[in-house]
Structure 1
Amino acid sequence: MLRLIFVCFTLLALTRTDGLVQDFCIADLTGPETPSGYTCKPSANATVSDFVYTGLRTPGPKIEIIKAAVSPAFTAQFPGLNGQGVSLLRLDLDPAGVIPLHTHPGAAELLLVTKGVVVSGFISTANQVFVATLHKGDITVIPRGVLHFQINGGGSTAVAFASFSSENPGLQITDFALFANSLPSEIVEKVTFLDDAQVKKLKAALGGSG
């Protein structure tokens, strides 16, 4: 038995890759982004500023069509996140603000409300709907890849912070995927059951063509 244990530990030692493990990998944003992230800048050149990001202190630019500001802290904004599997995003929603149906293919989301009221919901792949009204201090989890949304649920500005289980969670907004590109209107009408006038109206509003 002792001999078997010794053999097992020997095999584990031979197959370990500790020599390849690094404490961090500050993204070199001048290079290409790959499925496994960015390449690392030399660790000897790292400074404390690589591990601090102050861009979420204030709201980002407002997107008028949704009456909200979305301020991400992903790898592109915060290179120190590269390879760490976490990221953050700030939402500032005007009283009429809405984050329309969208998905994050690469990450689960944890939403924390810090001001106002936010109605948050998601739709499972079984078409089961989960909607909650969140107040300051409340959190909700949104599973990876499912359609979800946020709406201001009160009469004043709402602020929330979303954390993700990836440094680059990805984003696809359903409305923009359907109406903000050159997909022919005839096809959009067939796959959405909308009439031609509705499709043309939405394409005009979101910048699509065809």
Structure 2
Amino acid sequence: MAAVFIYLVVSAVLSGALAYDPDLLQDICVANPSSDIKVNGFACKSEANISASDFAFEGLAKPGIINSSVGSVVTTANVEKIPGLNTLGISLARLDYAPGGLNPPHTHPRATEIVFVLEGELDVGFITTANKLISKTIKKGETFVFPRGLVHFQMNNGDKAAAALAAFNSQLPGTQSIALTLFTATPAVPDDVLTKAFQVGTKEINKIKDKLAPKKS
């Protein structure tokens, strides 16, 4: 069933790739991340240096290791992991959740996302620009769509681990976690902006910053 889902998603996003990532003008353009040439995407490798490994990735085969405070981990399969995706306008990710685990509210500025539940069940939802929450519980074998750019989340509502696949119509969707973006930005967002936005005092803002700050090894 997962293979059928991936086939359908890839077919659908390829047909709509023009709306987001630029269309390709050649058969392949394997990314060359080390190039000094700046383009909207990545410069192409010489075809003489291309191999099958540029189009393959094994990182989604096994559950990711969950060691975050929110109880989830995302394993991406985008152009940074699969150079052959450059100019093709698609990517995938694997989402693994501990019992009660949350993929916190976030956005993908460059892609619409569709998730397919592999195991367990998830409470999912997105918020429109009219501030309306669209939410649902989805189970193994079911899918849900998050429109491009809208804030969304997923949460494992069960007492067992859960997993899902996500597909995007962008080679590099980008992710902005709302909490991390606001409270761990560098340079920092001014405290007076945050206190006014959230209608709390500086003490509360600093508590949140301390909890979200990267742990020192």
TM superposition score normalised by structure 1 = 0.85
Alpha carbons of 1:105 and 1:94: their partners in 2 closer, same or farther (altered >3 Å)?
A: same
Q: Which position in structure 1 is the counterpart of 2:116?
A: 112
User: Please, which of 40, 43, 46 is the counterpart of residue 36 of structure 1?
Assistant: 40
Equivalent runs, 1:10-29 vs 2, <5 Å: 21-29=25-33
Aligned residue pairs, count: 189
- List gaps (5 residues or longer) in structure 1: 1-19
Q: Which position in structure 1 is the counterpart of 2:11?
A: none
Q: Aligned partners of 2:64 and 2:37: how far apart in 1? A: 24
User: Please, which of 187, 196, 206 is the counterpart of residue 200 of structure 1?
Assistant: 206
- For each residue in 1:27-61, what CA deviation from the matched residue of structure 2 results, as whole angstroms up to 9, or x when unmatched? 00212585621001012322222111111111334
Q: Aligned partners of 2:127 and 2:37: how far apart in 1? A: 31
Confirm or deny: 8 A CA contact 2:66 2:98 kept in the other structure. no
Q: Which position in structure 1 is the counterpart of 2:92?
A: 88
Equivalent runs, 1:39-54 vs 2, <5 Å: 39-54=43-58
Q: Which position in structure 2 is the counterpart of 1:173?
A: 177
Residue 107 of structure 2 is aligned to residue 100 of structure 1: no
Deviates more, 1:34-43 or 1:70-79: 34-43
Q: CA deviation at 1:156?
A: 0.5
SS in 2 for 1:62: coil
- What amino acid sits opposite 1:28 in the alignment? N
Deviates more, 1:29-38 or 1:117-126: 29-38
By relative contact order (CA 8 Å, sep 6+), the higher-ranking structure is 2
Q: Which position in structure 1 is the counterpart of 2:196?
A: 190
User: Please, which of 134, 148, 151 is the counterpart of residue 155 of structure 2?
Assistant: 151
Structural RMSD (CA): 1.7
Provide runs of 4+ in structure 1 moved above 6 Å.
none
Identity of aligned residues (%): 39
TM superposition score normalised by structure 2 = 0.82
